[in-house]
């Protein structure tokens, strides 16, 4: 499958690490990014991804940061909302300082923390359905402190050494540029739209515990007027046929169970048949089945509430995933 309009990658570094940013881009994409005028700031590049499941030409936006605090403020402003909504990846490149407590080390730590602030507050942190990487360029051996610093900022730390360094560690895991590429390939680059998802959390109206008379809902309850969760009221745009199919499946299963447990003698005698628990099942669900539907509806409600603070694009993507999971259960 070819992804026609993939989400974007934002790749940044400090203004004095432009050579490291250019190197990482070349190692990832195979080509050196073209500068706009005399700087990489504001330049665009692209990454060709091809896996078993998809192919995509992912655009990369490059930026250089002079003041990390000012940069984070600008990217968390209302004007930058549209930029964040189309991002599927964020990468920060920095030079690994020899001494973590040196001036360079403090500057690198501030850069990571401010980029992490955008990841957490602007993109949703670890709940964001994108990939956030922090690539440290250098040959130092002890990088535990940088791994912790990146993790606290919602970033995965990847050390980029010289080309002669093995691409796998002692556990067989990929390292360096191969690991960064692996993380990028595993990401979902499809750009969500209203037409694609067919639902928006802002349009979902859930009424739990409603006591209003609703003829369609009462058909799925043994006690008319009881508290219920009506799937049609969720406005997730379910096909009513899905629920009719579920109802029919439950009815058929009940009939099969009844036939399996039927007394052969009584059938042969042809006498009066005693009422069974399945009589009338076509008109109403059993309590257990009603509870199953209610749990699904509560799950959708929980997803809606837990993602209320996320950007619109992420809410839509989360809505689609939640609906897909529930429909699989149906």
Q: 155: Cβ–Cβ under 8 A, 6 or more apart, which residues?
A: 92, 112, 115, 116, 119, 132, 133, 134
User: pTM, whole model, 2 decimals?
Assistant: 0.60
Centroid of chain to Cα 164: 35
Q: What is the pLDDT of residue 171?
A: 80
At residue 116's C-alpha, the angle toward residues 63 and 101, to 5°, is 95
CA distance 90 to 134: 9
Q: Exposed, middle or buried: residue 179 (CB in 10 Å: 0-12, 13-18, 19+)? A: buried
* pLDDT tens, residue order, the chain (330 aa): 899 899 999 999 999 999 999 999 999 999 988 877 778 888 899 999 999 999 999 999 999 999 999 999 999 999 999 999 999 999 999 999 988 889 999 999 999 999 999 999 999 887 889 999 999 999 898 999 999 999 999 999 999 987 666 678 778 889 999 999 999 999 999 886 544 444 444 443 444 344 445 545 555 554 444 444 454 444 444 455 555 555 565 566 556 555 555 555 544 444 455 555 555 555 555 666 676 677 777 777 776 766 666 666 666 777 766 666 666 565
The pLDDT assigned to 111 comes to: 97
Task: Report pLDDT for 206.
Answer: 45
Place of tokens 């809410």: 315
pLDDT at 162: 78
């Amino acid at each position: 499958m070819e992804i026609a309009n993939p989400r974007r990658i934002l790749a940044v570094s400090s203004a004095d690490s432009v050579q490291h940013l250019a190197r990482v881009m070349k190692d990832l994409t195979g080509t050196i990014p073209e500068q706009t005028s005399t700087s990489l700031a504001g330049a665009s590049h692209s990454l060709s991804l091809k896996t078993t499941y998809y192919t995509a030409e992912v655009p990369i936006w490059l930026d250089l940061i002079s003041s990390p605090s000012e940069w984070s403020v600008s990217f968390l402003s209302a004007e930058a909302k549209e930029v964040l909504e189309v991002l599927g990846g964020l990468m920060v490149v920095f030079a690994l300082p020899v001494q973590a407590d040196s001036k360079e080390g403090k500057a690198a730590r501030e850069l990571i923390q401010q980029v992490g602030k955008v990841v957490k507050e602007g993109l949703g942190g670890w709940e964001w359905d994108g990939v956030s990487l922090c690539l440290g360029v250098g040959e130092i051996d002890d990088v535990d402190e940088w791994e912790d610093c990146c993790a606290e900022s919602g970033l995965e730390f990847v050390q980029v050494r010289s080309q002669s360094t093995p691409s796998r560690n002692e556990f067989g895991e990929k390292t360096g540029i191969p690991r960064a590429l692996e993380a990028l390939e595993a990401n979902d680059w499809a750009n969500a739209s209203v037409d694609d998802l067919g639902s928006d959390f802002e349009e979902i109206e859930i009424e739990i515990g409603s006591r209003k008379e609703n003829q369609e809902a009462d058909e799925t309850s043994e006690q008319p007027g009881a508290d219920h969760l009506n799937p049609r009221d969720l406005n997730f745009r379910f096909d009513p046929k899905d629920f009719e199919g579920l109802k029919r499946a439950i009815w058929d299963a009940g009939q099969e169970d009844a036939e399996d447990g039927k007394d052969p003698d009584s059938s042969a005698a042809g006498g009066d048949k005693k009422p069974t628990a399945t009589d009338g099942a076509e008109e109403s669900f059993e309590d257990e089945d009603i509870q199953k539907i209610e749990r699904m509806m509560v799950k959708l409600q929980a997803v809606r509430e837990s993602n209320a603070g996320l950007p619109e694009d992420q809410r839509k993507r989360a809505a689609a995933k939640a609906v897909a999971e529930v429909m699989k259960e149906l």
